[in-house]
Structure 1
């Protein structure tokens, strides 16, 4: 069993990066039909404020406009892949409207766990952490 840590890339790592970028585009565009198959049925997001959201809760909030991404710009996506599992990590700049309140653009770390199922990569767990400007 070999674990590959790739920053530049194996073809599979690049495929995982492209899947994540497609997922982000779908979320920013509010395109639930595109986002749905990229999220595992048991998907769970842990938000920057520590709130867990299931797939239905998360995509439902985007569908209803409760969560609206105005911008989600990922930086370089680091990938650790192992057979049918992968973990990705990246820093991104986001601007979001949550519950009708615009949140100022800010930087976040994202860590996502992907699994390959029936030949397709899908995100299972996702966690976002706000990056404090104070040091």
Structure 2
């Protein structure tokens, strides 16, 4: 698990390699990742935007951004959490992802919440940050 805390918002990520969906002979490796966003603060927040910086083993970078996550813009109340699962294809057998969420507080303030860097490595390989 990988974890980061920004302004009492805790983001925890757990990546999993999807062997059955991957096609190494075709240059395609697939990972799922489960994200839990916990609000340990005392103000509700809304997840407005996401930004991902994805680097494969060759150093190629892909940036992905857009509204919400998995088609939602969740409101996370104090003491509550939101969990979702998504996925990432890579053209190499390893890589790394990092990013941030743009959150809006109940008072209307927009701020960024760090998504911790997490490694996408085959289960048979040693897990390291690239």
Common fold, TM-score beyond 0.5? no
TM-score by length of 2: 0.29
More strand by share: 2
TM-score by length of 1: 0.28
The answer to which structure, 1 or 2, has the higher relative contact order (CA under 8 A, 6+ apart) is 2
Higher Cα Rg, which structure: 2
